[in-house]
Amino acid sequence: MGEEVDGNTVLAQSLKQQGVEFIFGIIGYPVIELSMALQMADIHYVGMRNEQAACYAAQALGYLTGNPAGVLCVSGPGVLHTFAGMANAQINCWPVVVIGGSSPQDHEGIGGFQECNQVELARPYCKYSARPPSVSLIPLHVEKAVRLSKNGRPGAVYLDFPANILSAKVDSTTIPRQYGPTEIPLIYPDPVKIQEAVELLGQAKRPLVIVGKGAAYSRAEKEVNELINASNLPFLATPMGKGVVPDTSDRCIGPARSLALQKADVILLLGARLNWILHFGRPERFSPDVKVIQIDILAEELHNSVKSAVAIQSDIKTAVSQIVDSLKQKKFEFSSSEEWWKVLKRKCEDNRKIVDGMASDVQPPLNYYAVFKNLYENIPEDCIIVSEGANTMDIGRSMLLNKLPRHRLDAGTFGTMGVGPGFAIAAALYCRHYEPKKRVICVEGDSAFGFSGMEIETMARYKLPITVVVVNNSGIYTGMEPEVFKDIQDSGEITKVTPPGCLSSCTRYDNMMALFGKPGFFVQTVPELKEAIGQALKIEDGPTVINVIINPTADRKPQTFNWLTESKL
Ligand code: ADP
Ligand code: MG
């Protein structure tokens, strides 16, 4: 006979054995003892205020480190709350391991407390969903779940633990030994396809490289920078592909994005899907004759939406490294005197002038451009930027430049609002453990902040120095002028006349910091903004909120295309 162990201990030790270092969650029946077992197994446990935010935090840490983190939640509603997070992880292709408690098996079918068919319900939102049938099989299931979350196209996995399995005790010698974390296999490209890609690039008159978050996830920054620098090809990044090559590079033609997409004749697509973010790769946003060289780790993704001229299943790192070698051998360099470069540069200049003009209008109430210009000029170059909201995220994306890979986290492919605070918590923990000098700036629209705003308490409890900037227009898309808002409140028909997108006028989100006896900042002018950022960055033992009141009807600069409606499918 060996020593007796219970399911909680076996599960905690298995997670640790598979390299899971952080778990975010909320405890309650039946996972209270499990949370303690996790800490006993030397895993960091971060208690959150909503399971959704816990799942957002875990997946962001998975993206930042390349190693999956876990989510711990109670049965029934707790598990259901994680689904928004699992769907977001799955659609962003980020790894996350969700661990749900469930009602004891002998209460199933007779109305058990929080009884819920969790394994089946989780299945559409993940790559793998299972319930280990016995304590002895827990290590095997945990190994499989962790492996599936990170191998191939990364994603979410779910494991279900009935109360009776967690508390069941077994003789430790009866548990089969389990191997530790396996390496993620590196996928190499077909060399014939690489040659086809290089030939096509060589013939291009109007080439364009698009860098997606698959390139960021693959940690291909060295290879992609070499490609851009050696070839002199113009590139643009998708929202979270930003920073793989610095946004400040001369070869970044982000400000000419619409024109570049529309006119390019050959596109090298590095870890980005031709989905809504890239207007499906179709006319009128793209040329009908464009030839796409697509590189993706998932074979099923190849030719999705449009047929690629060259489709390569590969990791971005290995494929780009081979493309670089071949281009160098051929002494390929796309000349700056080509008409294509001139057209792109001109367009970039024109757009920069328009934005500078809008940013120079600093009359209160402020507009987005003035806020972002001054925010960008006053935050550290190497900070991790978290961003969500509608205009706040869209305008912020073009004005808050990233020089480093994986330094931008936003609403992503699923367009999820409420991710910001969880992402910021993950980013701050990442900094604390791996890059202690870096700061996290969490730029939130006022509506977006509302979804998970209570996580400010989590940030305070774990002393995470996150600067939350609420860009406050008092509404969703647009808000109401204070006087108009007051009239609406006084009209005896509040629910019939308050515009659905309207939020309370000039809400003092900065006063949330009073909950912790700490300072928040109320900002209405550019000098106040600069002063607040300076003060906020001095705070190292917890979060702060900078509440920036902007014009409730502030808008984006005129766009050539409406963001979704104009693609011809
Ligand atoms: P973006 O939002 O930047 O456009 P997407 O999330 O649409 O990016 O696409 C990312 C793509 O990258 C996915 O199709 C995914 O399969 C792919 N991908 C993820 N990791 C890797 C990797 N290591 N190598 C190559 N492709 C990857
Ligand atoms: Mg708003």
User: For the complex shown, is ipTM > 0.85?
Assistant: yes
Is the pLDDT assigned to residue 192 strictly greater than 60?
A: yes
Report which DSSP code applies to 366: B
Confidence label for 564 from pLDDT (cuts 50, 70 and 90): low
**Per-residue model confidence (pLDDT) at position 238:** 98
Using CA atoms, how far residue 466 sits from 27, 59, 373, 441, in Å, is 24, 18, 20, 6
Helix (H) or strand (E) holding 80: helix 77-92
Distance from the alpha carbon of residue 207 to the mean position of ligand 1, in angstroms: 21
372: three-class secondary structure by DSSP = helix
Confidence label for 391 from pLDDT (cuts 50, 70 and 90): very high
Is the pLDDT assigned to residue 48 strictly greater than 90?
A: yes
Neighbours of 122 (CB within 10 A): 24
Which ligand gives the minimal distance to the CA of 241? 1
What share of the chain has pLDDT > 70, as a percent?
99
Mean pLDDT (the chain, rounded): 97
Confidence label for 569 from pLDDT (cuts 50, 70 and 90): low
Name the amino acid, one letter, at 103.
S
Confidence label for 190 from pLDDT (cuts 50, 70 and 90): very high
Ligand 1 closest atom vs CA 317: 24
Distance from the alpha carbon of residue 151 to the mean position of ligand 2, in angstroms: 38
Distance from the alpha carbon of residue 430 to the mean position of ligand 2, in angstroms: 28
Is the pLDDT assigned to residue 558 strictly greater than 80?
A: no
Q: What is the pLDDT of residues 394-453, one digit of tens each?
A: 999 999 999 999 999 999 999 999 999 999 999 999 999 999 999 999 999 999 999 999
Helix (H) or strand (E) holding 161: strand 156-162
Using CA atoms, how far residue 243 sits from 66, 91, 192, 276, in Å, is 17, 21, 30, 21
Sequence-separated (6 or more) residues with CB below 8 Å from residue 294: 269, 274, 301, 302, 303, 308, 310, 311, 312
CATH (residue range 361-564): 3.40.50.970
498: three-class secondary structure by DSSP = coil
* Tokens 């550019």 -> residue: 526
Is the pLDDT assigned to residue 193 strictly greater than 80?
A: yes
**Per-residue model confidence (pLDDT) at position 555:** 84
Query: The sheet that has 235-237: what strands, in order across it?
Result: 235-237, 207-211, 266-270, 291-296, 310-313
Same topology between domain 4-174 and domain 361-564? yes
Maximum CA extent, the chain: 79
DSSP character string of 521-567: EEE-SHHHHHHHHHHHHH--SS-EEEEEEB-TT--PPP-SS-TTTT-
Domain 191-346 in CATH: superfamily? Answer: TPP-binding domain (3.40.50.1220)
Confidence label for 1 from pLDDT (cuts 50, 70 and 90): confident
Beta-bridged to residue 45, according to DSSP, are: 23
Q: What is the pLDDT of residues 484-496, one digit of tens each?
A: 999 999 998 999 9
**Per-residue model confidence (pLDDT) at position 566:** 53
Q: Which residues line ligand 1 (CB under 6 A)?
A: 92-93, 153, 212-214, 217-218, 238, 240-241, 271-273, 275, 277, 296-298, 301, 315-316, 413
Give domain limits for the chain: 4-174, 191-346, 361-564
**Per-residue model confidence (pLDDT) at position 465:** 98
Question: Near ion ligand 2, which residues have CB within 5 Å?
Answer: 445-447, 473
Distance from the alpha carbon of residue 209 to the mean position of ligand 1, in angstroms: 14
Is the pLDDT assigned to residue 230 strictly greater than 70?
A: yes
Q: What is the pLDDT of residues 494-551, one digit of tens each?
A: 999 999 999 999 999 999 999 999 999 999 999 999 999 999 999 999 999 999 999 9
Confidence label for 82 from pLDDT (cuts 50, 70 and 90): very high
Which ligand gives the minimal distance to the CA of 505? 2
Which amino acid residue places its CA nearest to atom 21 of ligand 1?
214
**Per-residue model confidence (pLDDT) at position 565:** 54
Confidence label for 568 from pLDDT (cuts 50, 70 and 90): low
Is the pLDDT assigned to residue 563 strictly greater than 90?
A: no
Distance from the alpha carbon of residue 453 to the mean position of ligand 2, in angstroms: 14
The CATH fold of domain 4-174: Rossmann fold (3.40.50)
Which ligand gives the minimal distance to the CA of 479? 2
Query: Which residue among 222, 273, 304 is best mutated to probe the pocket of ligand 1, counting the most ligand atoms within 8 A of its Cβ?
Result: 273
Neighbours of 559 (CB within 10 A): 10
Neighbours of 19 (CB within 10 A): 14
Query: Does the pTM of the predicted model rise above 0.90?
Result: yes
Q: What is the pLDDT of residues 87-109, one digit of tens each?
A: 999 999 999 999 999 999 999 99
Which ligand gives the minimal distance to the CA of 480? 2
